[in-house]
Structure 1
Amino acid sequence: MKLIRFGEAGREEPGVLLPDGRMMDASGEFSDFDEGFFGSGGLESLAEWVADGCPGATEVDPMSRLGPPIDRPSKLVCVGKNYLEHAKELGEGIPSEPTLFMKATSAWSGPYDDVITPRGSTKLDYEVELAVVIGQTASYVDEADALSYIAGFSSFCDYSERAFQKEMGGQWMKGKSADTFAPMGPWLVTADEVADPQGLRLWCKVNDEYRQNSWTGDMMFSVRQIISYISRFMTLLPGDVIATGTPSGVAMGMNPPKYLQCGDFVECGVEGLGKIRQRVVAPH
């Protein structure tokens, strides 16, 4: 099952993408795909509604804007340096356990929305990632059970302003949290449709040039390990998002670096989960 949200930014309505390509409005049955939805059996109810033929639903205009496929989460937890070659290209050592940081959820953005260059930005970078959406409250989760806590998966791009992140001191999140720096989508694919989260190709292109091309089997810490590890330090709530790390090929790792410029087009995708596209624009 593929969950979508459509409409104006900040006023999206929930829907589903059917196997025949039609998008159906689910707002008559469900208020939104948020913490309450995932935490109260909403996915199961949605699956029953779809199996019944989406009674009462109208078809969504295919030209409608798509927003992020779930409502803004309570937490957006990221894993840094989780692919060996990416860790090497950064030249900062190989982590012995997952490196965690947070992105502000105000960076939440739709799959085709513009990326707005923050004021003072000089080193804008991209990172394609597999995003995991938590389906139930998770605290001190055993690795063996970790996948059962997943509602679904999506394509994600962790945009970063490297000068803010690396050259200004303090926490990474100041370079990770500008508005529009967390696009996800175009839909959420439920966990039952992803046989192995460690067997997915992921890629990123800038102006049609492949920059990143890898697969999730290259993660140093698997999705199971990541969920278990994070849940030791914080309770993950339904609808929370984990960005699981990026492979090599980021702009900062190139010699010389090839940072994004206004007018560039970025495309990111994860096998079976769809692709997202952003245009880089100047600050408003």
Structure 2
Amino acid sequence: MRLVTYRRSIEAEARLGVLVDDLVIDVATLGERAGSPLPSRMLDFIKLGPVAVSELGFLLKEAGGRWPVNGALPLAGVILLAPIPRPDKNVFGIGLNYIDHVAESAAALDTAPDLPKQPVIFSKPPTSVIAPGEPIVHRADITQQLDWEVELAAIIGTTAQRVTRENALSHVFGYTVLIDMSARDCRRAGQWIYSKGQDSYCPMGPCIVTADEIPDPQTLDLWLTVNGVEKQRNNTSHMLFKVDELIADISQGITLEPGDIIATGTPEGVGAGRNPQEWVWPGDVIEAEATGIGKLRHPVVAG
């Protein structure tokens, strides 16, 4: 299933929808018609656990294309938000998780040239998350080195505490696309959160594809363009630490809860690693995509 958070209009409340072809089916409305209450918010739906996905799948099959009155809207006519507009916790970011990105970062950003022996973890606050299509804000008074990173993000579905790699993927609810915007000149004493956590630096979406449709997250192509020119293209099979390893590692010391988000790292091709280096500026447009999940498109604006 492909789940979205949407508004019918700018003034309307944010609601949970499921994509069926070019329609957004309102999940709560579908459940009400069948006498099977389902939440109207993505986080509440995730927190119900696997039973919610099973029940929604059953209701979609039973409906057979006969949708509730006012419960099916054309996708082109709604406003998509980030699938989880306001995460409960900081997004977990993973740095230096592709071999060639380790090399380009060492050359351009003075990070260590050796491959990490453990995942490199940072975070992005909930206030950095923006919806598909929303502008990425370039603050010229703060940065002259705004950079791009396309990533696969894993959404946790059930509590994971000290889990093994073997059962780690059973805790995943689904996957989405994330752009880890980074102000390279805002790193402070080796710390990345101010560089990567500023407002609008976490575009996410356009949907969450449930884990049953992506049984192996290490088979997905990722790519990113700036003004239509391809800058990054790689496959998640080339991660140093795979999704199951990341979940197992983090959960040894930090309990992962339903709705938590792990951005799994970016491949080579970032602006800092180019010769000469490239940065994005107001007027630029960034697009990022992952196989079977969808595309993000964001203008860069002055702020």
> Structure 2-normalised TM-score?
0.88
Partner of 1:246: 266
Q: Distance in 2 between matches of 1:33 and 1:57?
A: 19
Partner of 1:44: 54
Q: Which amino acid in the other structure matches residue 56 of structure 2?
A: L
The one-character-per-residue Cα deviations of 1:188-244 (angstroms, maximum 9, x if unpaired) are 000011132111110000011110010001100001100100111211110110000
Q: Distance in 2 between matches of 1:137 and 1:195?
A: 19
Question: Matched residue of 1:66: which SS?
Answer: strand
Q: Distance in 1 between matches of 2:200 and 2:77?
A: 21
Structure 2 segments unaligned to the other structure (5+ residues): 30-37
Q: Distance in 1 between matches of 2:296 and 2:165?
A: 30
The one-character-per-residue Cα deviations of 1:14-46 (angstroms, maximum 9, x if unpaired) are 10101x221112243422010x32222332332
Aligned residues: 279
Q: Is the 8 A contact 2:88 2:260 kept in 1?
A: yes
The one-character-per-residue Cα deviations of 1:119-139 (angstroms, maximum 9, x if unpaired) are 422110110000100000111
Instruction: Report the Cα offset of residue 51 of structure 1.
Output: 2.3
222-231 vs 113-122, which deviates more?
113-122
Q: Distance in 1 between matches of 2:286 and 2:268?
A: 16
Q: 1:188 to 1:9 in 2, by over 3 A?
A: farther
Partner of 1:114: 135
Q: Is the 8 A contact 2:142 2:186 kept in 1?
A: no
Q: Distance in 2 between matches of 1:134 and 1:72?
A: 15
Instruction: Report the Cα offset of residue 57 of structure 1.
Output: 5.4
Partner of 2:172: 150
Q: 1:176 to 1:199 in 2, by over 3 A?
A: same
Q: 1:52 to 1:271 in 2, by over 3 A?
A: same
1:139 corresponds to 2:153: no
1:80 corresponds to 2:95: yes
Partner of 1:13: 15
Partner of 2:34: none
The one-character-per-residue Cα deviations of 1:158-190 (angstroms, maximum 9, x if unpaired) are 01111112xx32520011111111111111000
> Structure 1-normalised TM-score?
0.93
Instruction: Report the Cα offset of residue 55 of structure 1.
Output: 4.5
1:69 corresponds to 2:83: yes
Q: Is the 8 A contact 1:74 1:237 kept in 2?
A: no
The one-character-per-residue Cα deviations of 1:55-85 (angstroms, maximum 9, x if unpaired) are 4652224232210112422231011000000
1:197 corresponds to 2:217: yes
Q: Which amino acid in the other structure matches residue 198 of structure 1?
A: Q
Give the structure with higher Rg (CA): 2
Partner of 2:32: none
Q: Which amino acid in the other structure matches residue 205 of structure 1?
A: T
Question: Matched residue of 1:49: which SS?
Answer: helix
Instruction: Report the Cα offset of residue 117 of structure 1.
Output: 1.3
The one-character-per-residue Cα deviations of 1:4-23 (angstroms, maximum 9, x if unpaired) are 111249942110101x2211
Q: Distance in 1 between matches of 2:11 and 2:245?
A: 34
Q: Is the 8 A contact 1:103 1:173 kept in 2?
A: yes
1:101 corresponds to 2:96: no
Instruction: Report the Cα offset of residue 264 of structure 1.
Output: 0.4
Q: How does 1:199-214 map to 2 (within 5 A)?
A: 199-214=219-234
Q: Distance in 1 between matches of 2:260 and 2:212?
A: 18
Question: Matched residue of 2:73: which SS?
Answer: coil
Q: How does 1:18-37 map to 2 (within 5 A)?
A: 18=20, 20-28=21-29, 29-34=38-43, 36-37=44-45
Partner of 2:104: 89
Q: Is the 8 A contact 1:204 1:269 kept in 2?
A: yes
